[in-house]
Amino acid sequence: MQTIPDPTATAQDVLRGQRIELPSWAFGNSGTRFKVFPQQDVPRDPYEKIADAAQVQRFTGVAPTVALHIPWDRVDDYAHLADHAHELGVALGTINSNTFQDNDYMLGSVCHPDARVRQKAVDHLLDCVDVMDATGSRDLKLWFADGTNYPGQDDIRTRQDRLAASLRTVYDRLGPDQRLVLEYKLFEPSFYTMDVPDWGTSLVHCVALGPKAKVVVDTGHHAPGTNIEFIVASLLRLDKLGGFDFNSRFYADDDLMVGSADPFQLFRILHECVKAGALGPESGVAFMLDQCHNIEPKIPGQIRSVMNVQEATAKALLVDAAALSAAQASGDVLGANAILMDAYDTDVRPLLADLRRDMGLDPDPIAAYGRSGYAERIAEERVGGNQAGWGA
Q: Closest separation between CB of residue 139 and ligand RM4, Å?
A: 12
Distance CA(169)–CA(371), nearest Å, equals 50
Residue in the shown chain whose Cβ atom is closest to ligand RM4: 143
**Least Cβ distance, residue 299 to ligand RM4 (angstroms):** 19
Concatenating the DSSP letter of every residue in 40-99 gives: TT--SSHHHHHHHHHHHHHHHSS--EEEEETTTT--S-HHHHHHHHHHTT-EEEEEEP--
Contact region with Mn ion (CB under 5 A), list: 52-60, 103-111, 216-224, 334-342: 216-224
Least separation in angstroms between residue 183's CB and ligand RM4 is 5
Closer CB to ligand RM4, residue 101 or residue 158?
101
Shortest Cβ distance from residue 215 to Mn ion (Å)? 12
CA angle 305, 306, 307 (to 5 degrees): 90
Cα 331 to Cα 13, 225, 334, 335, 342: the distances in Å are 32, 26, 9, 9, 18
Sign of CA dihedral 290, 293, 299, 303: negative
CB 262, min distance to ligand RM4, A: 18
**Alpha helices, H only, the chain:** 7-17, 46-60, 78-87, 115-135, 156-173, 199-209, 228-237, 263-275, 298-317, 321-329, 333-344, 349-358, 365-372, 374-381
Report the site for Mn ion in 321-380 (rule: CB under 5 A): none
Q: Could you tell which of ligand RM4, Mn ion, none binds residue 253, using a CB distance below 5 to 8 A set by kind?
A: ligand RM4
Candidates 35-43, 201-209, 244-252, 342-350 — which segment interacts with Mn ion by CB under 5 A? 244-252
Binding partner at 96 among ligand RM4, Mn ion, none, C-beta below 5 to 8 Å by kind: ligand RM4
What distance in Å separates the CA atoms of residue 159 and residue 32, rounded to the nearest whole number?
Answer: 29
Spatial distance between the Cα atoms of 69 and 53, rounded to a whole number of angstroms: 14
Which among ligand RM4, Mn ion, none contacts residue 287 (Cβ within 5 to 8 A by kind)?
A: none
Out of 41, 139, 245, 272, point to the residue binding Mn ion (CB under 5 A).
245
Give the nearer residue to ligand RM4 in terms of CB position, either 11 or 288: 288
Count of positions on this chain that bind Mn ion (CB under 5 A): 3
Contacts with ligand RM4, residue ranges (CB under 6 A): 25, 69, 96, 143, 183, 218, 245, 253, 290
| Cβ neighbours of residue 144 closer than 8 Å, sequence gap 6 or more | 99, 100, 108, 109, 110, 111, 163, 194, 195, 196
**What is the rounded distance in angstroms from the CA atom of residue 136 to the CA atom of residue 171?**
17
Cβ at position 106, least distance to ligand RM4 in Å: 17
State in angstroms the smallest separation of the CB of 242 from ligand RM4.
12
Q: Which of 41, 52, 218, 272 binds Mn ion (CB under 5 A)?
A: 218
Residue 22, classed as helix, strand or coil, is: strand
Q: Which does 248 bind (CB under 5 to 8 A by kind): ligand RM4, Mn ion, none?
A: none
Judged by CB under 5 A, does residue 272 bind Mn ion?
A: no
Binding site for Mn ion (CB under 5 A): 218, 245, 290
